[in-house]
Each structure stands twice: as structure tokens, then as C-alpha cells.
Chain A
Amino acid sequence: MKKRRLAWIGAIAATAIALTGCSGGGGSEGEGEGGTLTYLEPQTWITLYPPAGGFYPNGGVLNQITDRLLYQNPETLELEPWIAEELPEVNEDATEYTFTLREGVTYSDGTPLDAENVVKNFDLFGKGDPDRALPVSEAINNYDHGEVVDERTVKFFFNDSSPGFAQAVSTINSGLVSNDTLDRTSEEFGPGNAADIIGSGPFVVADEEIGSELNLTTREDYDWAPPSREHQGAAQIDGVDFVVAGEASVRVGTVTSGQADIARTIPAPDEGQFEADGLELVAAATNGVNNGLNLRFGHPLLQDIKVRQAIIAGVDRQEIIDTLFTDSYPLATGVLAKTALGYTDTSSAYEYDPDRANELLDEAGWETGSDGIREKDGERLVLTFNEALPQPRSKEVVTLIQEQLAKVGIGVEIFPGDQVAQDEAQRSLDTIQVFHSMVGRADFDVLKSQYFSGNRNALVNLNPDTDEIFDQELDDQLAEIASVPTTEEREAASAAAQKRLTDQAYVLPLFEEPQVYGLRSEVQGFMTESIGRPSFYEVTLGQ
């Protein structure tokens, strides 16, 4: 008995040494011959249903495995041919679009990408299917139906003008997938099914480890890149390993130590590390609605324009950029980013002037209470902000604003909770009065996406409790952006809506939000699409 016990303790020790100590030395690289790119994502993807691809981890995958009818040049934001041989023929009021498809395009399962398939794609994306819990695409408006004209020609019909459709077919939300893939349910587009999502893109999902890894391999017979792209034919690397690394310090360290090639979302404070030799930083513009605060004017506390103006005058945006961010985050000069379509400069409306803020609040009848927070008729001027979890340093931004606004007597509370709680809370005027957010989309429609009552409704212009619209004029202007047929008219509608958002002090844009990637200099040819999602098609790994 005693001997056995001794042996037992010895065995534990030996096993422990064997298990924990043995592999300390042999740090084999574990990589192939080179050629496979390692890409680090902060979050795991949720769905590969293209219309729901807005979440960056989803879009990052979809952009590699799907092609689109048109290609939006990320530099000029012009639309160019891709799977469609040329730009579509559009009738005068933009209710009919005709596309001619390129010949010989196939999906990775061998099925052809033909007219019938394209119609099937857009009939689903344009209308959704509630029975399978598949939502309609946010980018497609007024969709009625599609028609096969002949094997290579498709025609789409709309109930009303849909001028944004051409751009919509260029986004990852319109990534084309095979017929079988289109028959899947919402769950069957989710994790665990990645290898069965069949696109015609330059990469194919080969393997998946739910929640931690996704392996893409190059499709050797790929031969239908957008004609304007420098490289044609199959991608030059062997594949891409998507690895989820939630911890920012791990992502940064893995790239700087050379264990991975590229990482998305480099926090501003870590950008300095990429100034070293052999490393680079890419800050890709997202070309949409800037990162900013949406003042929900339907709430009793914010109904007075003076209060809204006071909030805008009381926030020192430059201090936010200087203390929390870097040069990658340019100060916003309007509701939209400078590079966005329809951009109007409204920077003069956001000047920091605390004296003016105090004056405005005095005029509005808010008096400073005992604790420094203003009061009127027994009510305290305290507003709840959300924490925009996907946006960089949102909590720090709001905390800084809390300090700044306290100086003029406005109280700020931050709504705590995870993404689900935030998503739920942001729909209600009672819970969130100031909504911190942004949207990237390189079309005039982006303004509508963010503010229209039937879309994201970021200002809660449509009160969900009463179905009442607080500012009908704004809603009409936004609707117009997506329903007037010509570019000139859309530009004018967009400018008018921006003017209203600014004049009424509904929005305080903070900065132009980029997608910041950190990469090793060996990675050549890395590009992003029009709103900053990665494209690995042209990447080479030089030594």
C-alpha cells in the first residue's frame, strides 16, 4: 500500500512533467511552404447569407468566396463590369434593369452562373423569406421580380424607382451563390455550414472549426475577376486561414512577431507598433455615414432644438481625436465621410463653444441644480448614451463626452450590456436618447439606410410604440434619395437631407471611421473593397 502510494505520487509528477514541459523547446513553425495567408479576425462570423453580410466578419469571408454582377472601384467608387459584361441598361425612371452576363462563369460545385440562377439570387435577396427567417437585403429597394430574358440576359423590375440598385448589386450583400445554397434556411447559412456555401469567387471554403478558424483554398480555374483589376486568373496565394483572435494584444503581437500576416482592427493605441521595419498599417475608408452621435429628437428632453445645439456646442471633438485616436481617424466634416457619394461639408455647425452651450441651455430654461446638472420643472437634464460595441473605443468616447458635457450641466449615462442588450435597447426612445453609431456603404442610399424610418431608424424618427413619425419632412427627403432616378437628383436629395440633419441639430458627427489593418510588409497587393472589407485576391507573399 505505502509503496503503491509513493509510486502514485511519482507517476503524477512524471506525467505532469511530460505533459507540461516536453514541448517547450521544439517550436516548429507548423506552416506550409508559404503561400497561405494567415488573417486574424477579432470576431467570429455569424452567417454567410449575403444580405446579412453587413457585419464585418461575415463580409470578410463573403468578399473572398462570392462575385457580384458589378464591381465598385474602391478608389473612384465608380461601378464597373464584373459578372455582368457591361453596366446595366436602365429605363428612364429606374424601374427596370437589364444585365448581360459573362459567359462561362461557374460556381465552385461546377454549376453554371446563368440567368436563371441570378434571378433566383435576387428574388431571394430583394424579397427575403420569412418562413426560412431570411431577411430582405437592406441595399435593395422597391424590388418586384426578376425575369430570365435568355441564358445570358436578366431583367429586374421594381415597383418604384430604385436608383441604388446598380450599386447594390456590387456590394457583398449581393454576393452571388449557387442554386442549392439559395435553398438553405437561415440556420443552414450559419457556422458549421461554411464549406457548403457555394460561390463563384476566387477562394473556396475548405474547412471550418466553429468559432475559431476558417480555411479558404484558392480556386485554380477562377478566370472572371473584374476586368479593371490588375491581376487576372487564379489568386496567387494558395489560400487564406481566417483565425479568430478576440484579444487585441494577441492580434497585434501575433502579427508583429511574424506569426500571422495580417490582422483587422488594430486599436488606435497600438498603431505605433506597426511603424517598425517590416510592418505596415492600412487604414481603409468606409465611405459612409461617419461615426457620430444621433440625438433622438423625439424624446421630451431633446425636443427643444436649443438643447440639441447645446450638446453639439458642448462636445470638444478635437479633444476626442487627440486623446483617443490617431491620424487614421480624420475629424468629421459632415454627416458623411469626405470620400462618400453625396458628401456635403457642414463642418461649421459642429464648433466647440461651451459658452454658447451654456447660453443656449439658459435660454431654454434649464437651470443649474445643486450637483451641477441642469434642471427644469423638477426634471434633470440627464441623457442615456449607448455603448457602440462594434465601434472603436466607444466607451472611452462616451466617457470623455460625459466629462465634457458635465461642464455645461448635461448629465450623461452610459447604457451597459452586451451586443444583444444594446441592439434591443437602441430601438427604444426611453432607453437610449443619444445613439452612437456609424454605417459604411458606398452609395447615396447610405444616408437613407441609417436614418429612414423603415431602415435602421437611427434617430427613432419613427416611434415604435405609437408608429408616429416625428419629422415627416426628413423621412420624405430620405426616401427621395432612393427613389429619384438620376445621379444629379439623388445628389440634390442627399444634400437636402444632410442640410436638414445639420440645421435641426439632429446629428453630431465625430470622425471618419476607418477599418485599420496591421500587416507584415511581405504581404503585397492587399486591397479593400469600397467600405473597407479585405480582399485577398491579389495578395502575394514575397520574402
Chain B
Amino acid sequence: MTPLALLRRVGQAVLVLFLAYTAAYILLAALPGDAIMARYGAPELGLTNEQIAEIRASYGVDRPLVLRYLDSIWAFVRGDFGYSVQSGAKVSDLLAESLPSSLTLAAVALVGSVFLAVVIAFTASYGKGVWLRRLFRNIPPFFISLPVFWVGIMLIQVVSFQLGLIPVIGASEVESLVLPALTLMVPIAAPLAQVFLRSIDEVREQPFVAVAKARGASTSWLLWRNVAPNALLPVMTMAGLLFGELIGGAIVTEAVFGRTGVGNLTAQAVANRDTPVLLAVVVIATVMFVTINLIVDLLYPVLDARLRQRSGGGSGSAVPVIATAAEAGPTAADTGATATQAGPHIGPHTGPHNEGGPR
């Protein structure tokens, strides 16, 4: 990627960030009630409307929306996330407390689901016996249909309450990661496996595989040397996109398991209309989403020699196909379109550098 292109990507990222922030701000402002109501509006406090208005004024939320919006933008630019209205804690402190635990969970779940997806896809393609392959082919659609919430509760019920293997309360660091990670793996592994499976199917149809086979390659050689590497690109794209799923899943998972984390923080901020916390979460999620997709883009040429050659030569404009391939990831990410669009473009054409079986 040229410096100019990189700059353009960063500019895009900032624009996405700004739009996400603004959209979140407007949506939050449009809801009935706000953080002041959340804290002081409960009937058990018995505050009159005048008293609430007084408190509202002392927080400055009676000013026009536009002014408050500009204020908050300016504060964000200076890196000031403000204070949680609900707890009075610094938003940056709250994030510092919950981010590490969430990132650990997300990382473990992502690695776990890639592994799970690989196992499912390989078994479904090369497993012994038609029944086994058929069974594994049906796992992804089955997994997708399971609600995260339900999976979490079932895991707790069976593993913790019935079998007594892992305590929900008072578990060690590692123990407390296992069930949430497993829960989160289900909705992520499923689409990954599906994309991987599909792309293995497509790569297997490619002439170079037939050539390799004709030259005497064994199944496992074909799988590891020819098919898998070529089927990996769309999976990468998908993995980047699945970050969104990871955030959504983490909210549910952390709430079910009562884990400290950004998900739980978000769930409680939503319940309490804690606007500063929610805006900070939106910004952080957007930054991560954009960054991960940028990394995925940058990784394409590393994984695919053909992409590296042409875009590395700086003659991107001469090769329109590549331009679209490189663009497909981020564009799909930004618009929320499915990654499979990006997948097939790249997968089937990646023959050249992988030709040749055992000599």
C-alpha cells in the first residue's frame, strides 16, 4: 500500500469514527429520558419535577443539544472521555479496568473459534466417511442458529451446576475464562467454518489441484500445501468482520457470566443511559473495528504472493482486479455487507505460486 493510499485509509477511518460518534450521540439524545433521569428519576427517591430540574441545571444538561454535542466532540478530541453520570467514575478508569479482561476473552475466543472452524471445515471436507462429513457440514448452520445467551446458560447449567467442573463463583482467572470463551466461540466459529468450507470446496475445483493430484500428491499434502493456504484469505476477511460479532457476543456473555468487561460495562451503561460511557464504548469499538480491518487488508499481500507482487510494484492502477480485491475487505466492513463477496474474488485465482506437487 502506498503512503497516499494509507493516508486515505486513515482518513476514511477518522470519517467512520466521526459518523459513528455522531449517530450514537443523536440516537442517545432521541431516547426518552437521560442519565439524570436514570439516576434521580426513580420514584423511590421521591424527587419533585422542580428538584430534578435543579439537578439537571447543575449538570448543564438543560442547554441546547447542539452545544452539548460540540462540547463533547471537543472533549473527545482532547482525549477527555468525561465522567460516568451513573457512578461518577472517570470513563477512562472504567475502560482501563474492563478492557484488559474483555480483550483477553475476545482473543481467546477468536483463536479458539479459528481452531474450531478449521477442525470443522477440514473434517467436513476430508473426514473419514460420508456420514461424518455430512454431519460436520451441518454444524455451522446449527451453531449459527444458537442464541449466545442460551449457549451460555446451558454451559453454566451443565458444566458448572450438573458436572461441577468449573465454579461460576470464585473461579480462578483461567477457569473463569473457559465457559465465556466457549460461549463466544459458537457464534464466531460457525460463519468462519462456513466460509472456510466453501472456499475449500472452490479451491478443490481448481485445475492446479487436479494437476497436483495427477502428480501424485496425497490428500494431506493437497490439504496443507495447496488447498488450505489458498482457502485462508476469505477466512481472514471474515475473521476481521467477525469482530463485530465478538463485541455483540461479549455483551451478552459478560452479562450472563457476570464478568467484568467492556460488554458488561456497556450493558449497564445502556440500562442506566450512561451517555459518556456509551459514547466512549462506541468510539473504542469503532477504532478497533477499523484497525482490525486495516490489518486484514495489509495482511493480504503478505499471505498472497500475487497480491504482493502487483500492489508492491506500485502499479495498482494497471491491475484493476487487485484493486477491487484489496478494497473489498474494508468496503464490506464499512457497509456491513457480507464478507463472502470478498472471498470468492480472491480464492479461485490464487494458483500460480502454489503449483507443483512432490518432486
Chain A residues engaging chain B, CB cutoff 8 angstroms: 2, 5-6, 9, 12-13, 15-17, 19-20, 22-31, 38, 40, 44, 46-47, 52, 54-55, 128, 130-131, 133, 135, 138, 185-193, 209-213, 241, 243-247, 249-250, 253-254, 256-257, 259-260, 417-421, 423-427, 437, 439, 449, 454-456, 458, 464
Alpha-carbon gap, A47 to B228, bound state (A): 55
Residue of B nearest to A244 (CB): B258
Q: Which residues of A contact B164 (CB under 8 A)?
A: 27, 257
B157, A130: Cβ atoms closer than 8 Å:
no
New A-B contacts (4) at CB < 8 Å, excluding given A185-B88, A243-B258, A245-B168 = A55-B42, A128-B51, A253-B168, A420-B31
Residues in B with CB closer than 8 Å to A55 are 42, 44
Interface string of B154-170 (1 = CB under 8 A from A): 00110011101111111
The reply to whether B178 and A423 form a contact with Cβ atoms under 8 Å apart is: no
Assess whether B260 is in contact with A16, with CB atoms less than 8 Å apart. Answer: no
Q: A138-B46, A439-B44, A456-B43 are in contact. Are A23 and B272 (CB under 8 A)?
A: no
Q: How far is the CA of A256 from the CA of B169 in the complex (A)?
A: 13
A15 and B157: CB pair below 8 A?
no
A115 smallest CB distance to B (angstroms): 28
Residues of A within 8 Å of B74, CB to CB, are none
Docked CA distance A130–B55 (Å)? 6
Instruction: Report if B202 contacts A (CB, 8 A).
Output: no
Q: Known contacts A24-B178, A249-B153: does B87 contact A54 (CB below 8 Å)?
A: no
Q: Is the CB of A247 within 8 A of B115?
A: no
B174 lies within 8 A of A22 (CB): yes
Flag if B55 contacts A133 (CB, 8 Å).
yes
Of B34, B87, B111, B271, most A-chain CB atoms within 10 Å: B87
CA A464 – CA B37 in complex, angstroms? 16
B181 touches A191 (CB 8 A): no
A458-B88 contact in complex given A19-B108, A253-B156, C-beta closer than 8 Å:
no
For residue B127, CB closer than 8 A to chain A, the reply is no
Task: Report the bound CA distance from A213 to B170 in whole Å.
Answer: 11
Q: How far is the CA of A104 from the CA of B83 in the complex (A)?
A: 39
Cα A361 to Cα B102 with chains together (Å): 58
Contacts of B167 in A (CB 8 A): 27, 29-30, 259
Partner of B41, one of A138, A186, A420: A420
Check A192/B87 contact, CB under 8 A, given A16-B114, A210-B260, A247-B153. Answer: yes
A350 to B55, CA, bound (A): 41
Contact of A421 with B33 in the complex, beta carbons under 8 Å: yes
> Could you jot down 10 A-B contacts, CB within 8 Å?
A2-B229, A16-B111, A28-B175, A130-B54, A187-B89, A254-B168, A256-B161, A257-B164, A420-B271, A423-B38
Question: What residues on A are CB-neighbors of B175 within 8 Å?
Answer: 23, 26-28, 30
CB neighbours of B181 from chain A (8 A): 19-20
Q: Complex Cα distance A131/B116, Å? A: 56
From the candidates A6, A46, A193, A250, name the one contacting B156 in the complex (CB within 8 A): A250
On whether the beta carbons of B165 and A24 are closer than 8 Å, the reply is: yes
A22 to B181, CA, bound (A): 13
> Chain B residues near A31 (CB, 8 Å)?
170
Chain A CB within 8 A of B97 CB: yes
Beta-carbon contact of B38 and A187 below 8 Å: no
Residues from chain B with Cβ under 8 Å of A419 in the complex: 38, 42, 271-272
User: Which chain A residues lie closer than 8 Å to B37 at the CB level?
Assistant: 420, 423-424
CB pair A212 B260 closer than 8 Å: yes
Say yes or no: B86 contacts A23, CB within 8 Å: no
User: Which chain A residues border B257 with CB–CB below 8 Å?
Assistant: 250
Q: Is the CB of A6 within 8 A of B89?
A: no
Q: Is the CB of A250 within 8 A of B256?
A: yes
Query: Residues of B at under 8 Å CB distance from A?
Result: 31-34, 37-49, 51, 54-55, 58-59, 83-84, 86-89, 93-94, 97, 108, 111-112, 114-116, 118, 153, 156-157, 160-162, 164-172, 174-175, 177-178, 181-182, 185, 224-225, 228-229, 255-260, 264-265, 268, 270-273
Whether B32 lies near A417 (C-beta < 8 A) is yes
Partner of B93, one of A188, A192, A439: A192
**In the complex, which residues of chain B have a beta carbon less than 8 angstroms from the beta carbon of A13?**
115, 118
**B111/A12 in contact, CB under 8 A:** yes
- Complex CA gap A230/B9 in Å reads 71
A468 to B274, CA, bound (A): 33
Chain A residue, CB-CB nearest to B170: A30
User: Between A and B, how many residue pairs show CB distances below 8 Å?
Assistant: 218
Q: Which residues of A contact B108 (CB under 8 A)?
A: 19-20
Other-chain residue from B33, B40, B97, B268 in contact with A135 (beta carbon distance below 8 A): B40
Provide the residues of chain B in CB contact with A250, threshold 8 Å. 153, 156, 168, 256-258
**Quick one: which of A12, A128, A424, A455 contacts B115, CB cutoff 8 A?**
A12
Say how far A324's CB is from chain B's closest CB, in angstroms.
Answer: 22
A114–B171 Cα distance when bound, in Å, is 43
A130-B51, A455-B46 known; A193-B165 Cβ under 8 A: no
A244 to B258, CA, bound (A): 6
Tell whether A212 pairs with B259 under 8 Å between CB atoms, given A29-B167, A192-B93, A449-B46.
Answer: yes
Q: Nearest CB to that of B274 among chain A residues?
A: A420
Cross-chain contact of B268 among A16, A211, A213 (Cβ < 8 A): A211
Given contacts A16-B111, A250-B256, A456-B43, contact A30 B172 (CB under 8 A): yes
With both beta carbons as reference points, the residue of chain B lying nearest to A191 in the complex is identified as B87
User: How far does the alpha carbon of A378 sit from the alpha carbon of B178 in the complex, in Å?
Assistant: 61
Are B166 and A254 neighbours in the complex by a CB distance under 8 Å? no
Q: Given A27-B164, A192-B89, are A423 and B174 also a contact pair (CB < 8 Å)?
A: no
State the Cβ distance, A113 to closest chain B Cβ, in Å.
26
Given contacts A5-B229, A29-B167, A190-B88, contact A54 B224 (CB under 8 A): no
> A151 CA to B273 CA in the complex, in Å?
45
Residues of A within 8 A of B255 (CB): 246-247
Contacts of B115 in A (CB 8 A): 12-13, 16-17
Cβ of A17: which chain B residues have Cβ within 8 Å of it?
115
A469 to chain B, nearest CB (A): 13
Q: Which residues of A contact B156 (CB under 8 A)?
A: 249-250, 253
A193 to B260, CA, bound (A): 17
Is there an interface contact between A6 and B224, defined as CB atoms closer than 8 Å? yes
Given A17-B115, A190-B86, residue A135 in contact with residue B168 (CB < 8 A): no
Known contacts A23-B175, A253-B157, A191 near B46 by CB under 8 Å: no
Q: Which residue of B lies closest to A25 (CB)?
A: B165
Q: What's the Cα separation between A311 and B86 when bound, in Å?
A: 39
- Name the CB-closest residue of A to B39: A46
* Cα-based distance from A54 to B46 in the complex (angstroms): 10
The verdict on A212 contacting B87 (CB below 8 Å), with A23-B166, A46-B39 known, is no
Q: Is the CB of A424 within 8 A of B229?
A: no
Check B271–A27 contact: CB distance below 8 A: no
Closest to B57 in A: A130
| Shortest distance between the CB of A242 and any CB in chain B (Å) | 11
Across the interface, which residues of B come within 8 angstroms of A241, CB to CB? 169-170
| Chain A residue nearest in CB terms to B354 | A2
- Asked if residues B182 and A212 are in contact (CB atoms below 8 Å), the reply is no
Task: Give CA–CA (A253, B159) in the complex, Å.
Answer: 12
> Are B33's CB and A464's CB within 8 A?
no
Residues of A within 8 A of B93 (CB): 192
* Cβ–Cβ contact A425 & B55, under 8 A: no
Closest to A138 in B: B46
Tell me, in angstroms, the Cα distance from A243 to B169 when the chains sit together.
8
Q: Which residue of A lies closest to B109 (CB)?
A: A20
- Which B residue sits closest to A261, measured CB to CB? B169
- Is the beta-carbon distance between B258 and A246 smaller than 8 angstroms? yes
* Cβ 8 A contact of B97, one of A210, A257, A420: A210
- The 3 A-B residue pairs whose C-beta atoms are closest, nearest first, are A187-B88, A16-B115, A54-B44
A190 and B294 CA atoms in complex are apart in Å by 39
Report how far A531 CA is from B56 CA in the complex, Å: 31
Least Cβ–Cβ distance between B249 and chain A, in angstroms: 16
A422 CA to B183 CA, complexed, in Å: 32
List of A residues within 8 angstroms of B273 by Cβ: 418, 420
> Nearest chain-B residue to A137 (Cβ)?
B46
Q: Judging by beta carbons under 8 Å apart, are B161 and A253 in contact?
A: yes
**Docked-complex contact A29 and B170, CB < 8 angstroms:** yes
